[in-house]
Amino acid sequence: MAPTQKLINDGNHTVDEMLAGVLAAHPNHLALAAPRAVIAKSGPRPGKVALIIGGGSGHEPTFLGFVGKGLADGCAVGNVFASPPPQPVVDAALATHGGAGVLLMYGNYAGDVMNFDMAAELLQMDNVEARTVLTTDDIASSPNPAKRRGVAGNVFIFKAAGAAADLMLPLDEVERIARHANARTYTMGVALSACSLPQTRRLNFDLPAGEMEIGMGIHGEPGIRRGPLKPADAVVDEMMDAILAEMAAPAGASVAVLVNSLGSTPLMELYILYARVAERLKLAGLGIHSSLVGPYCTSMEMAGASITVMHLDDELAKMLDHPCDCAMFRVG
C-alpha cells in the first residue's frame, strides 16, 4: 500500500482522534478515567484485583479493545508504536482497583518496561499493591524466553489473567495464572509488507514485493530470515515447526489457537492458514479446544499474519472459556 493512503486528518493526532471515536462508538463499555486512561464501565468491584494493560497504539484491537467485564479493567494508551507514560497507567489503576491490588500486564519492550515499572512504584507510594507481568510469547524474537517480545499471544494471556481477576482470586493467584499463561503461549509471525507511520506517512521498513520476513515483530523488528514468499502451507509449516518444537506438548494435549492478521491480510487468507494449522496440530496428536481467527493484534495496515498456540491445562482452558464482554472481544 502506498504510504500516503491513510484515512486520517492529522498524523500527529491520530491516537486522540481514534480514542474519541472509540469512546463514541462504545459508550456502554468504555469510559475515560483521565487522558489516555481507558477504563471499563463495569468496574470497580470491591475486593477484585484490577488488571491494567497497555502499550503503544497502532495494534488495535490490542490493547483497548480488551477492556471490559471479565478481561482488563483499564488500559493505558500510548502514541503509535510508543509506550504510554506512567501517568495513564496510574490513573487507570486508581480508577478501577477494588482494594485487592493491581496487576499490570504489557508486552516486553524496553519503553513499556520502564514506564510500567515507574507506574508500579507510583502506585506503591499511593499504598496500592502493584505487580507486573510481561508477555513474552514471540518465540522468534530471542532464544532466551525472558528476552522475548510480547505479541498477539497477549490476547490469550490477558484473557487468562482477566478471568482469574473476575473470579475474585487474590493478587498472588492472578499473578501466578498470568505467568503460567505467558509461559505456555507461543507465537510466530510473518510479514509481507511494512506499514506506514501516520506521523510521517513513510513505511517503517523496507520489504520488497514478493519477499516475506519470518519472525518479524509487530513494529517491524527484524525476524529470523527473509526470502521469497512461499505458498501458505509452506509458510505455516515453517512457523508450526518452530512453535511445536518450543511447546513440546505431549500427544493428547489440548491447545487454543489464534491465527491473527497483522492488518491488511484478509480473512480468506487467515482461514487458508488456519486449515493447515489445524492439520499440523492433528498430526501432532493435539486437540483444538478453541480458536480465534481475525485481526486481534495488528501493525496498522501491515500485510502478514501470526500464529499463536497456547498449551492448555484444565486451569487455562477454564480461564479462556470464562465469559468476557469487551468493546472489541467477547467470549461466552
User: Do 224 and 214 contact (CB within 8 A), yes or no?
Assistant: yes
Task: Mark the segment that binds a copy of itself (CB under 8 A) among 173-181, 238-246, 298-306, 315-323.
Answer: 298-306
Q: Does 287 bind a copy of itself (CB under 8 A)?
A: no
Among 43, 54, 55, 61, binds a copy of itself (CB under 8 A): 61
Q: Which of residues 151-210 bind a copy of itself (CB under 8 A)?
A: 190, 192-193, 198, 209-210
Q: Is 97 one of the annotated active-site residues of the chain?
A: no
Select the residue interacting with a copy of itself from 139, 164, 273, 326 (CB under 8 A): 273
| Grid cell digits, residue 163 | 478471568
Residue of 59, 180, 311, 322 with catalytic role: 59
297: contact with a copy of itself by CB under 8 A: no
Query: Minimum Å distance from CB 212 to a copy of itself?
Result: 8
Residues 6+ apart with CB under 8 A from 10: 17
Which of 118/229 has CB closer to a copy of itself? Answer: 229
Least separation in angstroms between CB 215 and a copy of itself: 15
Binder of a copy of itself out of 54, 55, 56, 58 (CB under 8 A): 58
Which of residues 114 and 275 has its CB atom nearest to a copy of itself in the complex?
A: 275
CB under 8 A: which stretch of 42-50, 59-67, 144-152, 237-245 binds a copy of itself? 59-67
Nearer to a copy of itself, 19 or 133 (CB): 19
Q: Which three cell numbers stand for residue 248?
A: 513440546
Cβ-based nearer residue to a copy of itself, 17 or 241? 17
Task: Quote the least distance from Cβ 92 to a copy of itself, whole Å.
Answer: 19
Strand order in the sheet with 225-228: 225-228, 211-214, 185-191, 304-311, 254-261, 287-294
Give the one residue of 293, 315, 317, 318 binding a copy of itself; rule: CB under 8 A. 293
Say how many CA atoms lie within 13 Å of 232 toward its Cβ: 16
260 beta partners: 294, 306
Tell me the closest approach of the beta carbon of residue 3 to a copy of itself, in angstroms.
Answer: 8
3-state secondary structure the chain: CCCCCCCCCCCCCHHHHHHHHHHHHCCCCEEEEECCEEEECCCCCCCCCEEEEEEEECCCCCCHHHEEECCECEEEEEEECCCCCHHHHHHHHHHHCCCCCEEEEEECCHHHHHHHHHHHHHHHHCCCCEEEEEECCECCCCCCHHHCCCCCCHHHHHHHHHHHHHCCCCHHHHHHHHHHHHHCEEEEEEECCCCEECCCCEECCCCCCCEEEECCCCCCCCCCEEEECCCHHHHHHHHHHHHHHHHCCCCCCEEEEEEEECECCCHHHHHHHHHHHHHHHHHCCCEEEEEEEECCCCCCCECEEEEEEEECCHHHHHHHHCCEEECCCEEC
Figure out which of the listed residues 54, 55, 56, 65 binds a copy of itself, where binding follows CB under 8 A: 65
Binding mask 210-239 for a copy of itself (x = CB under 8 A): x------------------x-xxx-x----
219 belongs to the catalytic site:
yes
Residues 10-39 that bind a copy of itself (CB under 8 A): 10, 14-15, 17-22, 24-26
Residue with Cβ nearer a copy of itself (22 or 152): 22
Residues at the interface with a copy of itself (CB under 8 A): 1-10, 14-15, 17-22, 24-26, 57-58, 60-61, 65, 190, 192-193, 198, 209-210, 229, 231-233, 235, 259, 263-275, 278, 288, 291, 293-295, 298, 300-301, 303-305, 328, 330
Residues with catalytic roles: 59, 219
